Chains A and B, each alone.
Chain A
Amino acid sequence: MDALNGRVLIVEDDSSVRRSLRTTLDALGFDLGEASSGEEALQRLRMVDYEAVLLDINMPGIGGIETCRRIRRAFTKLPILMLTVRDSEDDKVEALEAGADDYVTKPFQIRELTARIRSSIRKFRAPEAPSEMPITIGDVMLDPVRRRVEHGGIEVRLTPREFDALQFLMEHSGRPVTHTRLLTALRGPGSGDDREYLRVLIGQLRKKLEDNTVEPQYILTDSHIGYRFREV
């Protein structure tokens, strides 16, 4: 088995989409399982150790969002990629809030999909880094113990709040972090949806870290959803 590929469960009610995904991903070296409903997916997950789940958001029965929530409850670390047909930000936010790691909007190109699956599996397989270890992404290095951030080897001075926000985003690099999730991480649960506060905070962070704040390289905006730190 290709070291990069892995065991993926496809949860999709439309048999044609399922068939095209199965044939393609199988040919690309993934080890696949299939389920046509949320209930079936939960059953299969108990029998086989999958390394990623491709989960359709619109399904009969308990539906994609509820399935995602239940999977997350049972398997805290298992990567879940939501397949959304609606071009609606609300659905995506709901999926992310329910515990999904990422989303892909239908119709999609296989290359984009496999890249996301591989990245998720890579993270899943990586030994859990102790949280004291410095994180380096591109030219940015964050040392949680010394609470120090460097950009291209030069120290960047951040306020405590800016540091916490950056640490949270870097720990979840490559994955979208919703506004609510980021606010909860910074201020605790029940912090509401104060996007204006985040906008100012992220604006300050970008000024300190980015070479060009209009086209940021590190802290990217997912329109109407949240922010995403560039992938390793």
Chain B
Amino acid sequence: MPSLWVQRLLRILASALIVALVTVVTYGTHAKSFAAGFIYLFPIMLIAFGWGFFEASVASVLAVACLDYFFTEPHFHFYMSDPQDWIALVSFEAVVLLVSQLADRLKRHATEASKQRVQVEKLNRLSRDVLLLNRRSAIGIQLVHLVVEGFDLDGVSLWDVREARFDTAGDICIPEDEVRATYFHQRHGDDKASGRFTRVLFLGSRAVGAIGLVGTSSKTCIDTRTADAIASLAAVALERAHSFRSESEAEAARQSEQLRSAVLDGLSHAFKTPLTTIQGASSGLLEIGGLRTAQEELVTLINQEAIRLGELTTQALQTAKLDSENLKVSKQEVRVRPLLEGVSEQCSHRLSGHQIRVRDKIPNKCVWADGRLLKIALLELVDNASKYADPQAPITLSALPVGAEVTFSVQNEGSYIAPDERLRIFRRFYRSPGSQYRASGTGIGLSFVKRIAEAHSGHVWVESEPEIGTTFFLSLPACTEGDAAWTH
């Protein structure tokens, strides 16, 4: 580069001038050759320190020449007969070499340190900006722009595994397949010559994505350590965004559940007052008596339906309550056979056309449960079976001891539930496609059964075969001898 040579030439001229100046001053003071040698050393050391080896070498040759011409015998002759002159020249050169090397190293260190300080500042800024990212919009795209701008890079590519999303910023980017390959092989890549770095984004030992950085220009100069630091910050930023999102989703779900429960609760209470009037009037009419047969028949009908509405309201209320976290389960010994017989008896007058059977071999066992809730769950299962079974098909109630549990089952013929529906039907408000045309329902009942099972540390599931029909199972912990002492 011409400017560099001009600069060097100017420095050589300046060095020569300095040597000349020193010579004039030293000659003027009539210094001896010994003292003059030392005086020359100072400017040469300074030149070596400030401008480097080449300029200092030229200065030292000039200095030895001046020393020889002006200060050693015979004066005003370039005559290096004395070995002292050679020694002086060699020592001058040695000093020049040593000082310039030292100076060079110091300068290099200083440059390195200042470069590192700049990188640390950039990283600090990045870590601060990462905290200020807008978490409501996509994180990846914001992040790549931050990195490109913060480190003056040519391009950044980011692969977010959980979002399955690829984002880039800048002009020269590492392509998607290469960044994804970095993630899949979990191997970092460094190409310092071309300034390309790829990093897997690790959070602890878990990989959450990969990042590719390209910085070719001299002002960019990122190194492996900076690339590592950027990767760590990117991993943390992605993780923060994910946890924030899942947290807000959970909060939204909780709020909508709360609202639904509140609406359900409010409605059921609002229904109960008019129902009290209707039931009071209808049951009162029956109690007073004196009705004709047709009248009594009709009033009985009103009364029965009012009772049913009351039960539905109570069920809705209980569902609302089951959703609340503090579900009260008052567990006691519940004998299996009387329970099933009670359920069968209560159902028999409600089921239209279905015969309800309790299997003969019922174990003489007890379960540790809230009898009221358990009965509601079984009634719900029978009610569900009656809605979907073939008309007139019997519904069979049974219970079997299985290990430390008792498994209740409600079986009916004629309905079939496809495998992919078998988990969904226990979700709240879920109704199988087409079922709304077959039977009335709210989609609450089965979710209610599931909640009751869970509240008892039990579980509920369904098995279904097109030819055999559908069986719902409800499994609860059986009573042990120790529990019996706590009967109340």
Contacts and interface: CB of A to CB of B under 8 A. Distances in A.
Interface stretch (A14-22, A133-141, A183-191): A14-22
Contacts of B306: 107
A203 B486 contact: yes
Given A107-B279, A221-B332, 7 more contacts: A14-B276, A16-B277, A20-B281, A24-B284, A87-B317, A214-B335, A214-B487
Q: Which of B283, B307, B317 has the most CB of A within 10 A?
A: B283
Given A109-B283, A111-B287, A87 B273 contact: no
B271 to A, nearest CB: 9
Interface string A1-41: 00000000000001011011101110110000000000000
B43 interface: no
B318 interface: yes
19 contacts: A14-B273, A20-B276, A20-B277, A20-B280, A20-B284, A21-B280, A28-B284, A85-B272, A87-B318, A106-B272, A107-B306, A107-B310, A109-B279, A110-B280, A110-B287, A203-B487, A203-B488, A214-B366, A223-B330
Contact of B284 (A23, A86, A89): A23
Interface of A: 14, 16-17, 19-21, 23-25, 27-28, 85-87, 89, 106-111, 113-114, 199-200, 202-203, 206, 213-215, 221, 223-224
A224 B277 contact: no
B287 A203 contact: no
Contacts of A200: 486
Q: Which of B281, B284, B330 has the most CB of A within 10 A?
A: B284
A224 B276 contact: no
B487 A17 contact: no
A224 B330 contact: yes
Contacts of B11: none
B6 to A, nearest CB: 95
B284 A27 contact: yes
B343 to A, nearest CB: 16
A106 B284 contact: no
Contacts of B335: 214-215
A46 to B, nearest CB: 28
Interface residues of B, number: 37
B162 interface: no
Q: Which of A17, A24, A107, A114 has the most CB of B within 10 A?
A: A107
Contacts of A221: 332, 488
Contacts of A14: 273, 276-277
A110 B279 CA distance: 8
A17 B306 CA distance: 14
A107 B318 contact: no
Nearest to B335: A214
Q: Which of A24, A213, A224 has the most CB of B within 10 A?
A: A24
Contact of A108 (B269, B276, B281, B370): B276
Q: Which of A28, A106, A202, A221 has the most CB of B within 10 A?
A: A106
Q: Across chains A and B, which 3 residue pairs bring their CB atoms closest together, nearest first?
A: A24-B284, A107-B279, A20-B280
B487 A206 contact: yes
B375 to A, nearest CB: 12
B485 interface: yes
Contacts of A199: 486, 488
B127 interface: no
Interface in B331-373: 332-333, 335, 338, 366, 370, 372
A85 B275 CA distance: 10
Contacts of A16: 273-274, 277
B338 A107 contact: no
Q: Which of B330, B370, B487 has the most CB of A within 10 A?
A: B487
A58 B284 CA distance: 23
A41 B280 CA distance: 22
- Judged by DSSP, the binding face of B is helix
B328 interface: yes
A213 B288 CA distance: 38
Contacts of B366: 214
Q: Which of A20, A21, A200, A206 has the most CB of B within 10 A?
A: A20
Given A214-B487, A221-B488, A224-B328, A24 B276 contact: no
B333 A214 contact: yes
Contact of B275 (A107, A206, A224): A107
Contacts of A214: 333, 335, 366, 487
Contacts of B216: none
B33 interface: no
Interface string B277-302: 11111011111100000000000000
A214 B333 CA distance: 7
A199 B486 CA distance: 7
B314 interface: yes
B288 A17 contact: no
Given A85-B269, A203-B486, A206-B487, A110 B328 contact: no
A93 B338 CA distance: 29
Given A20-B284, A23-B284, A213-B487, A223 B372 contact: yes
Contacts of A224: 328, 330
Contact of B288 (A28, A87, A106, A108): A28
Contacts of B274: 16
Contacts of B278: 20, 107
B198 to A, nearest CB: 62
B330 A107 contact: no
Given A16-B274, A85-B276, A107-B275, A28 B287 contact: yes
A21 B286 CA distance: 13
A24 B280 contact: yes
A200 B486 CA distance: 6
